[in-house]
Structure 1
Amino acid sequence: MPEIAARPRVKPRLKPERPRLYKVILVNDDYTPRAFVVGVLKAEFRMSEDEAHRVMITAHRKGACVVAVYTRDVAETKAARATDAGRAKGYPLQFTTEPEE
């Protein structure tokens, strides 16, 4: 019986897919003090005073503002922690997440 040379198996190279990114969105409310919102943005999202103030004012004027973009688990964790910081002080501060287009 003739021997058949074994061909090396070639695995197709799969290009790893980049994880889908999610936006963290600050939703405006008329009750949470501006200084508190700025403080949460600085603490949770490591923003400077100026950056945090700009995001807060944009949310105030437009109703909502994208704060940052992360992978899903990071975005959801940061949004929940920031929302919880407001709830702990009795404010209706709300951060949401949604997939980036």
Structure 2
Amino acid sequence: MGKKNVYPEDDIGLLDDIELLTKTKTKVKEPKLYKVVMHNDNYTTMNFVVEVIRIVFHKPAAEATRIMLEVHNKGRAIVGIYPYDIAITKIDQVHQLAKENGYPLRCSCEEA
């Protein structure tokens, strides 16, 4: 028994002879990036700040210490640059760790 055509217009063989000429091109836009900025305060210990940077932002000890010193000396420092959802998640993690340990450590998000 013959194969049944799914496309009625194929009854005259058009689909056999026509190659797909149009391809859909999907352009994926890169997400906007945001800076996570850590702010200095007079209560959070330097050691705690270093540990938070290491845990939340996965920075090696030397880089975490450098960032902590920049926060301490300049009042703020960029800890990382991420897509918005990731930046907000990291800020929430910092705030949660600070709260659990009784510190007022704060971070904010700025468009990169």
* TM class by smaller structure: 0.7 to 0.9
- Partner letter of residue 43 of structure 1? I
Cα displacement (A) at 1:85: 0.4
How far residue 9 of structure 1 moved from its aligned partner, in angstroms, is 8.1
Q: Aligned AA for 1:39?
A: E
The match for 2:50 is 38
What is the aligned-residue identity percentage? 36
- Spell out, residue by residue over 1:61-96, the C-alpha distance to the aligned partner (whole angstroms, 9 max, x if none): 111100001111011001110111011111100111
| TM-aligned CA deviation for residue 38 of structure 1 | 0.4
Listed as ranges, the matches of 1:8-27 within 5 Å are 10=22, 13-27=25-39
Q: Does 1:47 align with 2:59?
A: yes
Query: What is aligned with 1:61?
Result: 73
Gaps of 5+ in 1: none
Matches of 2:48 and 2:24, distance apart in 1: 53
SS in 1 for 2:48: helix
| Partner-residue secondary structure (3-state), 2:95 | helix
Aligned length: 97
TM-score (norm 1): 0.84
> Which runs of 5 or more residues in structure 2 are unaligned?
1-13, 15-19
1:70 maps to 2:82: yes
Structure of greater Rg:
2
Output the TM-score relative to the length of structure 2: 0.76
**CA deviations over 1:42-73 (Å, ceiling 9, x no partner):** 11111111100000000111111000011110
